[in-house]
Structure 1
Amino acid sequence: MRKYLVMLIALVAAVAIAVPSFAVEFKYGGMYRWRIHANENMKDANSDLDDTANWIDQRLRLYFTFVGSENLQLVTKWEADTLWGLEKGAGRHGGGDWGADAVNLEMKNVYLDFMIPNTPVRALVGVQGLSYLDGWIVADDASAFVLKTAFDPVKVELGYIAGVNSDPVTDYNDMDDWFLALKYAEGPFNAAAVLFYQYAHDADYSYPNSIGYGGTGAVDKEDNHLVDLGFSLGYKMDWLGAKVNFVKNLGGYDIAGTDEDEDYEGWMVEAALDFYMGAFTFTLGGFWTSDDFAYPAGRSHYWAEIAGLGTLDVNVAGNDWYTSSYGMGGGLPNRGDYDAGDAPRNLWTIHAGVAWQALDTTKVTFNYYYLGTDDDVLANEATDEYDDSIGHELDLYIDHKLMDGLTLRLVGAYLIGDDALSTNEEDDNIYEVGARLLWKF
């Protein structure tokens, strides 16, 4: 054995000497974010119960890229989150109290980006960020193999995602994803078509599901395959911008222990218009999601501040990192059968907004949303009444550039609750205020 080890070391040394040295360029950057936050009634939409929340948090992201040439680079991204005053122990969000040292640095991305020799194809191999159709299909980090090529004005992306491989011996609890994306951009027009296939074998990883994502249909699934077929159209000129997103669920699953099967039949559509008039931008739009719309794992569509996570990452759906990580129990556990947050389902909204560039360094934005449900939901548990009106949300943002790269955002949001907001007899209003310092470097 020792003889073979010596031979191996000699071979490696010989190769190292024979291969000419080359310089590796080093690029770096990152982001620091600090936030202060307060909300009322976010958890239960009931002013008779004390659920006022106040906290400060911060996030650091560090980006290091090692560039061998224009055809080869290694991309790494690292992240550390801290909630001020709270030590959760080693792991994520630790180290916020006295003696604040903690082991909480996360690997966000590490992937190799290279051109395949003698082809026009670029490969990205490793843990990387993926986003399609503004997060209506996916927007998350994942272990993936992605091939990209361009046939101007069309770009093609083909990829595989290792979603879950919890047991290397069996595959009944695995999840494998494949996708094909076509992107077009020419002049003021852009378009995309995405085919995304999630094969969950005999498990349930779609949202909502019967395991833990908030679904109500508790069934054991076999041969579970969810397909998303998505399209987007966009147009932008000096005074007008427009976009449309559409996703249709296809595929299905077998119900274990029976001869029955079910199809995924949900859908969503989103449209928006932006009008540019000097220092003002006016926006009109909205979206509609069916009551049976399903998402593959990795979905993340942010929208309104209170109903849709927004800048401060807290929402009535209760799937924000703070409430889930620190035992607050999530938001609105007594809401009806709809989802807001980053995975809207059985929900529709009309949105109108205006942004004013008041100064070179200051921008003011106001947004209004009306929220309703596609199908009536339980609105009063005591009387078994159903309704389809969730309420009205008002969001105000003031963005100010303090210095190069450093911006301050002030946030104020108010949701006027209607009958379908929760299953309470009375649905009380929700407010949220906060500020964010953001430095991108």
Structure 2
Amino acid sequence: MKKQMKWLLAALALAALATPAFAVTADMTGTLAVRGIMTNNFDANDDAQDHGKFMDQRFRLFTSVAANENVKAVLGLEVDNVIGRTDKAGASTTYTVAGTVPAPTTPGTITIPGAAAGKDLGAMGTDKTAALEIKHLYLDFKIPSLGANVKAGSQPFNFGRGMVINDDAAGLVFTMPCPAIPDNKLELSWIKTSEATSASGEDDGDFYGAKYAMKVAGIGVAPYAGYYTAGVGALTKSETDAAFFGVDVDGKAGPFGYALTAIYNNWNNATTDGSSLSLYGKGTMAMGDTTLSLEAARMGDDKNGGNSMSLAQNAATGPVVNVSEITTGGMYTSNSSGVANIGGAATLYTTNWLYVKAGVVQKLSDSMKVSAYLAHIAQAEDSSPTTDAKTIGQEIDAYFDYTIVPGLGFNVMAAYLLADDDISATGNADNAYKLATSLNYKF
């Protein structure tokens, strides 16, 4: 028996020596946010009060498993949970804590802040379908001979500083540096927005993008072009097309920082077409423990609603368009916004609006800071040439942040919208407010 055991141990040793070394490394990060939110008068009409009070929470877990330095698998999971979503009869109620960016899709009307319907999320004490969301899942690998990087699968994707697309999307992103010029990088992307039916390829939706990022005298400059195409049905044979040509500029000069974006958009949606020029700019100035900011954006032609900006997704979710707490959601937006907004409808989502926003952030100590923002937000003319532009109003958002222990933060927010009469169809607009607090854990 001892002799047999010796032979077995020797065989295992030889097998170990013959097997190539294969070490797998894994990383794990994540966030957990527990929030309490209260809203009032989100219909912006003084004829009837409406209010909401509830808690929600979101857990995100991000893992990556690398076989070696050249390849890894990345998985992002998300769980949303809402407390207080049922009425006295136990029926489901609308989950709404945020307004919607004005979208001139119907002549003569305007989307009132808070009017957007919520998504079905995980409810307390019950098992809900799709309560666990695969946020993204993709391969991230290098091609050493080219110095290139490829991401294949469902992945975070941003195009045009989020003004065109800002969401998780399924596709390919190929990035390669320019060997002859330092700090220059070419990025090519393809995103599958929809596979509507197997009966006709004309119902498919695809987005193609090309971007070239470079440094010019220390300033980041990135010109890009994108093309979105989708069919609207095998019988109509009508195509939906949108082209985007833009440039992002980012830089610093002493205590000043700046970010600029310009996007020209030309689109055709069945029987209608249009074009627009969208602009975004933000400047910051750091003065010790104080940071001042001023930003402004115009999406589409603010004087002509027919020149709306089209988006390659069915909602505006990027950081540029998420302006404030009441009008567009802000930090305390509905957790339903985590649901993918790319694909689905073949009709282009168009938007046409503008804002100006000033802010200040004051550090009180290593563990505390306060911040406040004032934004003027307006909708441009609607699709109908007889409809005048509508002013949403002026919104004030204020925040207090406190670090309890490293990794765990506490936040309190208060927002107030000074609603303009234009926002209400009755002309009797009333102000809205929103209060919230959260515990935010990062690991």
TM-score tier by shorter-chain length is 0.7 to 0.9
Spell out the pairing of 1:219-238 with structure 2 (5 A cutoff).
222-238=238-254
Corresponding residue for 1:282? 292
Give the partner amino acid of 2:198: P
1:392 positional shift? 0.7
1:321 aligns with 2:328: no
**Counterparts in 2 of 1:190 and 1:387: CA distance versus 1, 3 Å:** closer
Spell out the pairing of 1:129-208 with structure 2 (5 A cutoff).
129-151=156-178, 152-185=182-215, 188-202=218-232
* CA displacement 1:388-441 (0-9 Å, x = unmatched): 432111110111111111111111100101122232321110101101211111
| CA–CA distance in structure 1, aligned partners of residues 122 and 410 of structure 2 | 25
**Counterparts in 2 of 1:95 and 1:52: CA distance versus 1, 3 Å:** closer
Q: Secondary structure at the match of 2:121?
A: coil
| CA–CA distance in structure 1, aligned partners of residues 442 and 196 of structure 2 | 36
Give the partner amino acid of 2:326: I
Give the partner amino acid of 2:440: L
Q: Secondary structure at the match of 1:350?
A: strand
Give the partner amino acid of 1:432: K
| CA–CA distance in structure 1, aligned partners of residues 200 and 237 of structure 2 | 16
**Counterparts in 2 of 1:377 and 1:252: CA distance versus 1, 3 Å:** closer
1:254 positional shift? 4.1
Q: Secondary structure at the match of 1:420?
A: helix
* Contact preservation (8 Å) 2:358, 2:375: yes
Match among 309, 317, 323 for residue 329 of structure 2: 309
**Counterparts in 2 of 1:80 and 1:376: CA distance versus 1, 3 Å:** closer
Match among 411, 414, 419 for residue 412 of structure 1: 414
Corresponding residue for 2:262? 246
| CA–CA distance in structure 1, aligned partners of residues 428 and 257 of structure 2 | 40
1:166 positional shift? 2.5
Q: Secondary structure at the match of 2:297?
A: strand
Q: Secondary structure at the match of 1:288?
A: strand
1:138 positional shift? 0.8
1:287 positional shift? 1.1
Give the partner amino acid of 2:241: H
* Contact preservation (8 Å) 1:377, 1:420: no
**Counterparts in 2 of 1:388 and 1:99: CA distance versus 1, 3 Å:** closer
Q: Secondary structure at the match of 2:371?
A: strand
* CA displacement 1:316-372 (0-9 Å, x = unmatched): xxxx738x9xxxxxxxxxxxxxxxxxx993322221111111111111111001122
Q: Secondary structure at the match of 2:331?
A: coil
1:361 aligns with 2:361: no
1:48 positional shift? 2.6
* CA displacement 1:7-66 (0-9 Å, x = unmatched): xxxxxxxxxx99745121111111111111011111x21133242011100011111111
Give the partner amino acid of 1:93: L
Q: Secondary structure at the match of 1:246?
A: strand
| CA–CA distance in structure 2, aligned partners of residues 385 and 254 of structure 1 | 23
1:374 aligns with 2:380: yes
| CA–CA distance in structure 2, aligned partners of residues 102 and 375 of structure 1 | 40
| CA–CA distance in structure 2, aligned partners of residues 436 and 203 of structure 1 | 45
Give the partner amino acid of 1:245: T
Q: Which of the pair has the greater relative contact order for Cα pairs under 8 Å at 6+ separation? A: 2
| CA–CA distance in structure 2, aligned partners of residues 39 and 165 of structure 1 | 38
Corresponding residue for 1:63? 62
**Counterparts in 2 of 1:388 and 1:106: CA distance versus 1, 3 Å:** closer
**Counterparts in 2 of 1:344 and 1:136: CA distance versus 1, 3 Å:** same
Corresponding residue for 2:313? 297
| CA–CA distance in structure 1, aligned partners of residues 39 and 187 of structure 2 | 41
**Counterparts in 2 of 1:274 and 1:161: CA distance versus 1, 3 Å:** same
* CA displacement 1:373-402 (0-9 Å, x = unmatched): 332799xxxxx9855432111110111111
| CA–CA distance in structure 2, aligned partners of residues 222 and 235 of structure 1 | 43
* Contact preservation (8 Å) 1:81, 1:92: no
Corresponding residue for 2:343? none
* CA displacement 1:104-139 (0-9 Å, x = unmatched): 211111101112352222111111010123311111
Identity of aligned residues (%): 25
Q: Secondary structure at the match of 1:271?
A: strand
1:253 positional shift? 4.1
**Counterparts in 2 of 1:306 and 1:344: CA distance versus 1, 3 Å:** farther
Aligned pair count? 371
1:179 positional shift? 0.7
**What is the alpha-carbon root mean square deviation over aligned residues?**
2.8
Give the partner amino acid of 1:373: Q
* Contact preservation (8 Å) 1:246, 1:267: yes
Q: Secondary structure at the match of 2:161?
A: helix
* Contact preservation (8 Å) 2:26, 2:63: yes
* Contact preservation (8 Å) 1:36, 1:435: yes
**Counterparts in 2 of 1:48 and 1:263: CA distance versus 1, 3 Å:** closer
Q: Secondary structure at the match of 1:198?
A: strand
| CA–CA distance in structure 2, aligned partners of residues 377 and 251 of structure 1 | 15
Corresponding residue for 1:6? none
* Contact preservation (8 Å) 2:152, 2:172: yes
* Contact preservation (8 Å) 1:377, 1:388: no
| CA–CA distance in structure 1, aligned partners of residues 382 and 269 of structure 2 | 26
| CA–CA distance in structure 2, aligned partners of residues 241 and 185 of structure 1 | 16
Match among 278, 283, 303 for residue 273 of structure 1: 283
Give the partner amino acid of 2:79: A
| CA–CA distance in structure 2, aligned partners of residues 187 and 105 of structure 1 | 46
* Contact preservation (8 Å) 2:380, 2:388: no
| CA–CA distance in structure 1, aligned partners of residues 39 and 221 of structure 2 | 39
Please, what TM-score do these two structures have when normalized by structure 2? 0.77
Spell out the pairing of 1:8-87 with structure 2 (5 A cutoff).
20=20, 22-42=22-42, 44-86=43-85
